[in-house]
Amino acid sequence: MRLGILGGGQLAWMLAQAAEPLGVSVAVLDPSPDAAAGRIAEHVAAAYDDLAGLDAVSAGADVVTYEFENIPAAAVARLAALGVTVLPLPASLTTTQDRAREKELMRGLGIHVAPYALIDAPADAAAALTQVGAPGILKTRRLGYDGKGQVRVATAADLPAAIRELGGTDLIYEGLVAFTRELSVVVARGTDGSLVAYPPVENEHRDGILSCTVAPAPALPPAQAEAAQAIGFAVAEALGHIGVLCVELFDTPDGIVANEIAPRVHNSGHWSIEGAVTSQFANHVRGVLGLPLGDPSARGVAAMVNIVGTEPELAALLAISGASVHTYGKAPRPGRKLGHVTLVAESSAALAAPLAQARALCAAAWDA
Amino acid sequence: MRLGILGGGQLAWMLAQAAEPLGVSVAVLDPSPDAAAGRIAEHVAAAYDDLAGLDAVSAGADVVTYEFENIPAAAVARLAALGVTVLPLPASLTTTQDRAREKELMRGLGIHVAPYALIDAPADAAAALTQVGAPGILKTRRLGYDGKGQVRVATAADLPAAIRELGGTDLIYEGLVAFTRELSVVVARGTDGSLVAYPPVENEHRDGILSCTVAPAPALPPAQAEAAQAIGFAVAEALGHIGVLCVELFDTPDGIVANEIAPRVHNSGHWSIEGAVTSQFANHVRGVLGLPLGDPSARGVAAMVNIVGTEPELAALLAISGASVHTYGKAPRPGRKLGHVTLVAESSAALAAPLAQARALCAAAWDA
């Protein structure tokens, strides 16, 4: 079998790592000559809307998938014209590329989301404040990630300036959610409609970037865990999604509130390579290729700490008990995800010390 | 960092899979254009004693290692002349390339081995029979693997013919060991002398080829497990070994008897990719590169079933609970190892059904 991937970054790299042992050959399309996945897969170095590049990455592929949701419409159209199967299907992309459609979908499914209002012109500010109040967060409807394209609005008076800062139109203004912690849930759906859910995890962010995931989320009552998984299932079914998706969630005193959907493998699922019976990457590959999904159960407990900015010394990370290191091979740059370290242990108590060590090393490297 | 590997088969492929996430680039030397490791590593397609090939595979490498023990002496000499660090060191190779030296080493360490006699001419048969008796097994001292280069000797009268069959010289005649089962132990030793041991495992062979490994070996008393690990440690220290080695063992009513040493990652350690905190491949890479060794502990229980001859349908294997499939990408051929499937579970009871399913599928494919 053969799999094409739009994007050749670390997500595609880990997808290729999961595909290759199954005898699935992989080609990635990525304009960067240093794309991580290019080290282990065929690399088509071209822009995402380059027609020859799209032809090359999909040549002989059973399926083409993607590692990021902002796929140019021209790319999707070209692959459709070639008769190539692209999974997840377009509905997963078109809905999740737009925060407003994403929120509408979830609200329609009875999933709790933050109050929000759409802003298409500076004049919409007043109505939005009436509906949502302040403080809040103003976001672009499209193309935001890792905290980019977002502005905190502390008081009602700050909203107009924020609207101007983000371009004046195609914005969404969201009420703040009083959450006790951030969670996420990863689910996979097969071509036959089969569904599996990973245990919900707890996430910590820093500077808008995921810094740490603990899996399963500590002390999450089973009913809450099931509610989170039910949100993932409902979204996947409503989208007719094939493969892996992630829903970012808030844990609140009033229950779980959904934040946003990523229609792909997600940084908060990286722990699953070592921490689950079947990783999110293996299940995405299985799902889009029509193969049976694997068991998403956690094996003991795990944590993932992102390596951001600069990399700690490899030997120091490997000296930590239960540590596995994943280096993406990217040049250091402030705020750039360069890798991650996963820690596994039999119990939360046994995980605490290794996790503290990894966090300390990675925090120091982040600041360096 | 950069690692060169002599050999590009499935062992080198899995070493490269373990090295690459650490940011270690890998080059392999293998004459076969289809060498498995070539799919994810730089592939130098040349004979093992090809000087230009040896130069290329070692260019820029911090260390050169190997996936098989029958490295030509010319290759070792060339790398030494180039000033390349080859690990494990030559002592590991020279001792284990010769069954007689291997046995002498272990006997000298107080490790129980089968009675044996060396045969360098047909005239040695009588003395060998006096010493060892019959039945027994006659083996070539060098270049045997997977049951090749071995002849069973049922009665004393059969020995002379067996000696002629195996070339008349450089042979070793071993007494049969009345074992209840076959075990093996994998250990890793770092450049600083640090040692870790995997839990001993139980192995089943068919047609002289490993068919199934269960890890940890079921119902092995802790004292026996420690004795097996102590054998691995003693051998590794006596050889000054760096990296992973495996000792094949017999479990007998009188205790553990050592059979042979493989100075490399071993088929009976493949379970460790999913079944241990740190795999044998990761620990070999760490060991030879001077990085800290990782925890070899088992996570729950695991089993490995070899795919030999032909491959079962991928979807059927992936439908088995807890299964991970590793396909080496080799053409089918009777008796050829084409891949393996690993099964993980929380308990032996939970492992039983998936293991039975995998064995049935792989046995049918072996016979096909």
* ipTM at complex level: 0.94
Q: Residue B255: what pLDDT?
A: 95
Residues in CB range of A247: below 8 A, 6 or more apart:
A184, A185, A187, A228, A231, A232, A235, A258, A259, A260, A261, A262
Q: Does A253 touch chain B (CB under 8 A)?
A: no
pLDDT tens-digit readout, B87-123:
999 889 889 989 999 999 999 999 999 999 999 999 9
Q: Judge whether A98 lies within some domain.
A: no
Among residues A37, A67, A86, which one ends one of the domains? A86
Q: Cβ contacts (< 8 Å) between A291 and chain B: which residues? A: 314-315, 318
Q: Which of A277, A319, A322 sits opposite B344 (nearest CB)?
A: A277
> Residue A69's pLDDT is what?
84
**Cα B246–B322–B195 angle (5° rounding)?**
25
Instruction: State how far the Cα of B248 lies from the Cα of A328, in Å rounded to an integer.
Output: 37
Give me the helices (H) in chain B, please. Answer: 10-19, 51-58, 73-81, 90-96, 99-108, 125-132, 159-165, 222-239, 272-275, 280-288, 314-318, 348-367
- Which ranges in chain A belong to alpha helices (H)? 10-19, 51-58, 73-81, 90-96, 99-108, 125-132, 159-165, 222-239, 272-275, 280-288, 314-318, 348-367
Dihedral pair phi/psi, residue A238, rounded to 5°: -65, -35
Tokens 């979204």 locate to A235
Overall domain count for chain A: 3
The answer as to whether A294 is a domain residue is yes
Mean pLDDT, chain A, rounded, equals: 95
CA closest to A325 among chain B residues? B22
Strands B25-29 and B42-44: parallel
Q: How does the average pLDDT of chain B come out, rounded? A: 95
Contacts of B240 (CB under 8 A, 6+ apart): B89, B91, B92
pLDDT at A71: 84
pLDDT > 70: what percent of chain B? 99
Residues B340 and B320 in one domain: yes
Domain stop point among A68, A86, A104: A86
A272 plus A162 within the same structural domain: no
Rg (CA), chain B: 20
Alpha-carbon distance A299 to A322, whole Å? 13
Residue B297 in tokens: 């502990």
pLDDT at B278 over 80: yes
Q: Please return the burial class of A276, using the count of CB atoms within 10 Å of its CB with bins 0-12, 13-18 and 19+.
A: buried
pLDDT digits (tens, 9 = 90+) for A112-139: 999 999 999 999 999 999 999 999 999 9
- Based on the domain organization, do B276 and B355 belong to the same domain? yes
Report d(CA A167, CA A104) in Å as an integer.
23
Q: Is residue A272 scored above 70 in pLDDT?
A: yes
Contact with chain A for residue B114, Cβ under 8 A: no
Nearest Cβ partner of B314 from A22, A40, A278? A22
| Residues B277 and B161 placed together within one structural domain of the fold | no
Q: What is the number of alpha carbons within 13 Å of residue B310 lying toward its C-beta?
A: 9
The fraction of chain A above a pLDDT of 90, given in percent, is 92
Q: What percent of chain A is modeled with pLDDT above 70?
A: 99
**Same domain as B292, residue B274:** yes
Identify the helix (H) or strand (E) that includes residue B172.
Answer: strand B171-175
Amino acid at A349: A
> What's the CATH code of the domain at A120?
3.30.1490.20
Q: How many CB atoms lie within 10 A of CB B284?
A: 30
A209 inside domain: yes
**Per-residue pLDDT tens over the stretch B241-267:** 999 999 999 999 999 999 999 999 999
Asked if A160 and A23 sit in the same domain, the reply is: no
Same domain membership, residue B27 and residue B129: no
B147 and B202 housed in the same domain:
no
- CB distance from A80 to chain B under 8 Å? no
Q: Token pair of B286, please?
A: 């760490």
Task: Please give the pLDDT value at position B147.
Answer: 61
Instruction: Say yes or no: B319 contacts chain A, CB-CB below 8 A.
Output: yes
Q: How far is CA A238 from CA A65, A104, A110, in A?
A: 19, 12, 12
Instruction: Give the residue-averaged pLDDT of A347-365.
Output: 98
Q: Are residues A124 and A246 in the same domain?
A: no
Q: How confident is the model at residue A148 (pLDDT cuts 50, 70, 90)?
A: confident
In angstroms, the CA B210 to CA B208 distance is 7
Distance of CA A287 to the CA centre of its chain: 17
Neighbours of A84 (CB within 10 A): 19
How much helix, strand and coil, in percent to the nearest 5, is found in chain A?
A: 35, 30, 35
Are the C-beta atoms of residues A126 and A279 closer than 8 Å to each other? no
Find, in chain B, the residue whose alpha carbon is nearest to that of A344: B277
Mean per-residue pLDDT for B38-66?
96
Q: How far is CA A179 from CA A182, A202, B145, in A?
A: 7, 12, 61
Residue A7 in any domain: the answer is: yes
Q: Do A285 and A244 fall within a single domain?
A: yes
- Contact assignment for B323 to A23 by CB distance below 8 Å: no
CATH of the domain at B53: 3.40.50.20
| Higher pLDDT, residue B60 or A69 | B60
Choose the mutation target among A40, A42, A283, A286 for the interface with B, i.e. most B CBs under 10 Å. Answer: A40
B104 in a structural domain: no
Half-sphere CA count of A119, side-chain side, radius 13 A: 30
Across the interface, whether the CB atoms of A318 and B286 are under 8 A apart is answered: yes
Task: Name the pLDDT band for A77 (thresholds 50, 70, 90).
Answer: confident
pLDDT bracket for residue B270 (50, 70, 90): very high
Which of A324, A330, A344 is the mutation pick for testing B, counting most B CBs within 10 A?
Answer: A324
Domain match, B259 and B313 both? yes
Binning chain B into helix, strand and coil, the percentages to the nearest 5 are 35, 30, 35
Q: Quickly state the pLDDT bin for B33 (edges 50, 70, 90).
A: very high
Answer with the one of B132, B156, B175 that is the final residue of a domain.
B175
Q: Are A223 and A267 contained in the same domain?
A: yes
Domain containing residue B263: 181-367
Note whether residue A91 is domain-resident: no
Residue B127: closest CA among B165, B173, B178: B173
Residue A149 has pLDDT above 80, yes or no: yes
Query: Rounded to an integer, what distance in angstroms lies between the CA atom of residue A319 and that of residue B261?
Result: 28
As a whole number of angstroms, the distance between CA A15 and CA B356 comes to 29
**Backbone phi and psi for residue A360, each to the nearest 5 degrees, phi listed first:** -65, -45
- Asked whether residue B169 is domain-assigned, the answer is yes
CA distances to A164, B31, B36, B191, B317 from B329, rounded to whole Å, are 57, 16, 6, 33, 16
Closest CA to A105 of A261, A321, A219, A312: A261
pTM: 0.95
Asked if A351 contacts A345 with a C-beta cutoff of 8 angstroms, the reply is: yes
**CATH code, domain carrying B293:** 3.30.470.20
- Quote the tokens at residue B188: 């890793």
pLDDT of residue B73: 80
* Residue B91 domain flag: no
Predicted confidence (pLDDT) at residue A66 exceeds the cutoff of 70: yes
Instruction: Give residue-wise pLDDT tens across range A210-255.
Output: 999 999 999 999 999 999 999 999 999 999 999 999 999 999 999 9
Q: Of residues B148 and A188, which shows the higher confidence score?
A: A188
Is B40's CB within 8 Å of A22's CB?
A: no
- A74 confidence band (pLDDT: 50, 70, 90): confident
* Residue-wise pLDDT tens digits, B9-25: 999 999 999 999 999 99
A147 pLDDT band, cuts 50/70/90, is low
Which residues share a beta bridge with A338? none
Query: With 80 as the cut, is the pLDDT of residue B145 above it?
Result: no
B23 close contact with A: CB closer than 8 A: yes
Residues whose CB is less than 8 angstroms from the CB of residue B284 and which lie 6 or more positions away in sequence, other chains included:
B15, B18, B65, B188, B243, B244, B264, B265
